[in-house]
Homo-oligomer: A and B are copies of this chain.
Amino acid sequence: MSDHVERIDRKLLHAGTIIDMYTDTMRLPNGDIETWDFIKHRTGAAAILPILPDGKLLLVRQYRPALDRFALEVPAGARDSISEPSIDCAYRELEEETGYKCEHLTPLLKLRTTVAFCDESIDIFLAEHLTKGERHLDPAESIELCAYTLEEALSMIFDGTIQDSKTLSAILAYQTRLSSRAK
């Protein structure tokens, strides 16, 4: 018997558009059997923290039906397929959502959004030295670009205006990197 939970079965309940819902049958360390939820994210995603020439952070504001409200986020998008390198996805999403390009994205963080029930991963990149590219929004995307100083973005994290995990992680990681560069 294992000293941690063990999965003894996994059944697909519903195949969604970007995620699939499964039910897992788990054996607990004491031998009990339980049913757990599992959400498989088909492709994973990439996100980008773009820094404008004046040092401001470029965020996107869009309506999120899951929250029934607008949210401030870093530009991001799902990978085209499980085999697409997440950095290629990041280069594409940066230009499509913001109209800016970046010659050299720097890996910043690797994120698992919610490990209790979901395997979604988001690779986050830092985009400095931006140049002008071409914006191409999907029909579903109605995205407003918003620029904030780092101090403004940090205040919006601590006052609860920015709550999205990939976004606040990216901003806090950038702040931490900057402070360690300054030392």
Contact = CB atoms under 8 A, between A and B. Distances in A.
A121 B69 CA distance: 14
Contacts of A3: 142
B113 A113 contact: yes
A166 B50 CA distance: 22
What is the copy number of this chain in the assembly?
A: 2
Categorize the interface residue count of chain A.
35 or more
Interface string A37-63: 111000001000000000000000011
A34 B18 CA distance: 12
B29 A139 contact: yes
Nearest to A40: B66
B111 A66 contact: no
A15 to B, nearest CB: 10
Interface of A: 3-5, 7, 13-14, 16-19, 21, 23-24, 26, 28-30, 32, 34-39, 45, 62-67, 71, 73, 109-121, 139-140, 142, 154, 157-158, 160, 163-166, 168-169, 172-173, 175-176, 179
